[in-house]
């Protein structure tokens, strides 16, 4: 059933109500701990909780506006992720023009989504831009570092724009398949599970972690944390899927396993980039979390995979 004023399914409001309740509980717990112990010991955790308040509210607000504004908001997320990534990597002076054209590709990609042109949405970046950007570099005439630059810029565009843009295309799928939660339910399911998996892998790793799973890439990631996150995330997928998605029981379990596993892969992929560049965080935009990439890394792999998983099974 939809809210008569906003046209958003009531289950969406219920889920967000639960998230806000957890944030209230977390804020209250930290406040009590600060009173008993040194407030300085909880500065980082306080920043993280405060940032979650802001991020959850932004996501909630994007669900309340018309579809076009939601697509635009996801477009801005991709834009800032790409911009942050480009600011981290070494580039040649002659790469500025190809990077400019990569920026132009972002609004075009989301325009294809807005008008519902699936064929162009699915090939524009991995085919047309993958051909156009190296061509533009060749015409400039600088061959030194050509392969590295062409590969890097195309990879960044694929990661931060093409992969994340699948989240926006959920809104163009027929609502009739997921009538109880609409397509917003699919987005909420994906984002909630991916972020929850991050928290659970971190928590279980802190509590039980002893065996590094990829010590040369991310020494703090442990096998125990990965398995704990996998189990809890899959359980949450099983519980939420009947309310937010058209997935059956076994399909929801498969989705939970996929989101937990490839959320981890996305996380360590960005960790590998940061280790290669010898930096701790991708940015400082989100207090306590780092940059945009530090927060969306788990969505880079999971978004296109979950989209095509649902698309194949139910659309």
Q: Are residues 179 and 311 in the same domain?
A: yes
Q: Are residues 107 and 128 in the same domain?
A: yes
Confirm if 129 and 102 have CB atoms less than 8 A apart.
yes
Q: Are residues 114 and 230 in the same domain?
A: no
Q: Are residues 8 and 116 in the same domain?
A: no
Q: What pLDDT was estimated at residue 5?
A: 46
Nearest to 155 by CA among 85, 259, 90: 85
Taking only the tens place, the pLDDT of each residue in 32-47 is: 877 776 555 567 677 7
Q: Are residues 54 and 107 in the same domain?
A: no
Q: Are residues 124 and 155 in the same domain?
A: yes
Percent of the chain as helix, strand, coil, to the nearest 5 = 80, 0, 20
Give the burial class of 1: count Cβ atoms within 10 A of its Cβ; 0-12 exposed, 13-18 middle, 19 or more buried.
exposed
Question: Looking at the predicted structure, is the pLDDT value of residue 240 above 70?
Answer: yes
* Gap between the terminal Cα atoms of the chain: 22
Confirm if 293 and 81 have CB atoms less than 8 A apart.
yes
| Residue at a domain's end among 172, 187, 218 | 172
- Mean pLDDT score of the chain: 89
Mean pLDDT of the 133-148 span: 92
- What range does the domain containing 46 cover? 1-64
Taking only the tens place, the pLDDT of each residue in 50-69 is: 888 989 999 999 999 999 99
Taking only the tens place, the pLDDT of each residue in 75-107 is: 999 999 999 999 988 888 899 999 999 999 999
| Residue at a domain's end among 123, 144, 172 | 172
* Percent residues over pLDDT 90 in the chain: 63
Q: What pLDDT was estimated at residue 220?
A: 84
Q: What pLDDT was estimated at residue 1?
A: 47
Mean pLDDT of the 148-154 span: 93
Q: Are residues 183 and 223 in the same domain?
A: yes
Q: Are residues 113 and 28 in the same domain?
A: no
Q: What pLDDT was estimated at residue 48?
A: 79
> Higher model confidence: residue 207 or residue 86?
86
H or E element, residue 253? helix 249-277
Residues whose CB is less than 8 angstroms from the CB of residue 6 and which lie 6 or more positions away in sequence, other chains included: 64
Mean pLDDT of the 98-117 span: 97
Q: Are residues 306 and 200 in the same domain?
A: yes
What is the number of structural domains in the chain? 3
Mean pLDDT of the 271-279 span: 87
Mean pLDDT of the 133-154 span: 92
280: confidence class by pLDDT, cuts 50, 70, 90: confident
| Residue at a domain's end among 139, 172, 205 | 172
Taking only the tens place, the pLDDT of each residue in 155-173 is: 999 999 999 999 999 999 9
Q: Are residues 183 and 166 in the same domain?
A: no
Map residue 290 onto helix, strand or coil. Answer: strand
Q: Are residues 230 and 147 in the same domain?
A: no
Mean pLDDT of the 229-245 span: 96
Q: Are residues 76 and 58 in the same domain?
A: no
Question: Looking at the predicted structure, is the pLDDT value of residue 131 above 80?
Answer: yes
């Amino acid at each position: 059933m939809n809210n008569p004023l906003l046209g958003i399914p009531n289950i969406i409001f219920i889920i967000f109500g639960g998230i806000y309740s957890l944030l209230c509980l977390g804020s209250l717990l930290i406040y009590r701990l600060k009173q008993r112990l040194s407030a300085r010991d909880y500065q980082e955790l306080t920043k993280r909780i405060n940032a979650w308040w802001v991020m959850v509210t932004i996501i909630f607000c994007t669900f309340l506006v018309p579809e076009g504004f939601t697509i635009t908001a996801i477009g801005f997320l991709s834009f800032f992720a790409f911009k942050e990534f480009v600011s981290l990597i070494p580039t040649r002076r002659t790469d500025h023009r190809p990077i400019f054209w990569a920026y132009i590709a972002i609004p075009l990609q989301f325009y294809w989504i807005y008008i519902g042109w699936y064929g162009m949405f699915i090939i524009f970046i991995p085919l047309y831009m993958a051909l156009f950007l190296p061509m533009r570099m060749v015409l400039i005439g600088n061959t030194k570092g050509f392969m590295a630059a062409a590969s890097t810029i195309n990879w960044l565009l694929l990661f931060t724009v093409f992969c994340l843009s699948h989240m926006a295309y959920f809104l163009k799928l027929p609502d009739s398949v997921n009538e109880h939660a609409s397509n917003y339910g699919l987005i909420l399911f994906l984002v909630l599970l991916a972020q929850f998996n991050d928290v659970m892998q971190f928590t279980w790793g802190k509590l039980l972690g002893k065996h590094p799973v990829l010590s040369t890439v991310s020494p703090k990631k442990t096998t125990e944390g990965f398995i704990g996150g996998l189990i809890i995330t899959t359980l949450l997928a099983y519980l939420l899927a009947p309310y937010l998605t058209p997935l059956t029981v076994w399909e929801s379990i498969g989705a939970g396993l996929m989101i937990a596993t490839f959320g981890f892969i996305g996380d360590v992929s960005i960790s590998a980039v940061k280790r290669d560049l010898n930096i701790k965080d991708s940015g400082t935009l989100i207090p306590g979390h780092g940059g945009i990439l530090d927060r969306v890394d788990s969505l880079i792999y999971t978004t296109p995979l979950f989209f095509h998983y649902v698309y194949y099974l139910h659309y």
